[in-house]
Structure 1
Amino acid sequence: MKFQITTDYAIRVVLYLAQHPGQVCGSREMAEKLCMTYSYMIKVTAKLKAAGFIESVQGPFGGYRLAISPFDITLYDIILAIEGKIQINRCLEDDHYCSRYNIDEQNHCPVHQSFQTLQNQMIEFLKSQRISKLSGMDT
């Protein structure tokens, strides 16, 4: 599984804002510091704003700041907002694509349960990774 570059950038933006609490950070400043183009920064901040993670401040000293506490944001939250539901294999999707899905209650493809376990563990790990912890606020 590989996350989109937009997801990587979104995580960087949220971490950057968490590391600058109480400050309004400009798009150009963040783009430069986070090594992304300004146009991509605008795309990422629009998605984060729509998801409710950040808010914009208008004016000559405007920019962005976190809209919610970094203690209340996890990596999972950001990934879910940018990419949607995490599925490591097509057989785990809700449409039951796997032809061997639920032949009976116990008879799935031999790797189905392994994939399900791996996916659940990954989601739980991502849910445990709070932005406050990753930005050094949890001590």
Structure 2
Amino acid sequence: MQHLLKISEAASLALHTMGLLASRPGDRVSTRELAARLKVSEAHLAKVMQRLGRAGLVRSQRGPKGGFSLQRNPDDITLLEVYEATEGTLREQRCLLGNPICNGNCILGGLLENVGAEVREYFSTTRLSDLSDSFTQEAVNA
């Protein structure tokens, strides 16, 4: 069964990585360590980290003590910024087909618009600092 809310792997990696970095304020964390924690490809995560860096959300430092850290305070970064850094502008989906054939009377009524509005609201009002309970120290240090 297809999921109603589908978030790409890149966006999911970005959201989770930013949550992990927010749970370790001031620390630099390597791509290797982040990939191991998330159990994902280091190469794919590196590409996601480049996008986050270009968006001004993380800073990187090379070298043996290098890694990534948040560029801004977690109170000032919304999930919408993180999502859009990897996926571009979050757009409303008004039709499952992409090209409406229902003559303006969608078989799903306003469901897609309502879900889209809820997702946008959640992403735009949730800050990284709001996620501190999602990343316990045991999970972060595991």
* 2:56 pairs with one of 52, 58, 70: 52
Matched residue, 1:10: 14
Letter in 2 for 1:42: A
Matched residue, 1:105: none
Distance (Å, rounded) in 1 between the aligned partners of 2:33 and 2:112: 41
Per-residue CA deviation, residues 60-101 of structure 1 (Å, 9 max, x unaligned), is: 21111000111111222211221122235255xxxx954788
Matched residue, 1:25: 29
Are 1:39 and 2:43 counterparts?
Answer: yes
**Alpha-carbon contact 2:94-2:112 (below 8 Å) kept:** no
Larger radius of gyration: 1
Distance (Å, rounded) in 2 between the aligned partners of 1:72 and 1:22: 15
The count of corresponding residues between Structure 1 and Structure 2 is: 128
Unpaired segments ≥5 residues, structure 2: 135-142
Per-residue CA deviation, residues 30-50 of structure 1 (Å, 9 max, x unaligned), is: 111121121112111111111
Which deviates further from its counterpart, 117-126 or 12-21? 117-126
What percent of counterpart residues are identical? 28
Distance (Å, rounded) in 2 between the aligned partners of 1:72 and 1:112: 36
Are 1:131 and 2:128 counterparts?
Answer: yes
Distance (Å, rounded) in 2 between the aligned partners of 1:8 and 1:61: 26
**Change over 3 Å in CA distance of 1:11–1:100 after alignment to 2:** same
Matched residue, 1:64: 68
Per-residue CA deviation, residues 6-60 of structure 1 (Å, 9 max, x unaligned), is: 1111111111111111111111111111211211121111111111110111222
Distance (Å, rounded) in 2 between the aligned partners of 1:58 and 1:38: 16
Unpaired segments ≥5 residues, structure 1: 102-107
What is the root-mean-square deviation in Å for CA atoms of aligned residues?
A: 2.5
TM-score by length of 1: 0.77
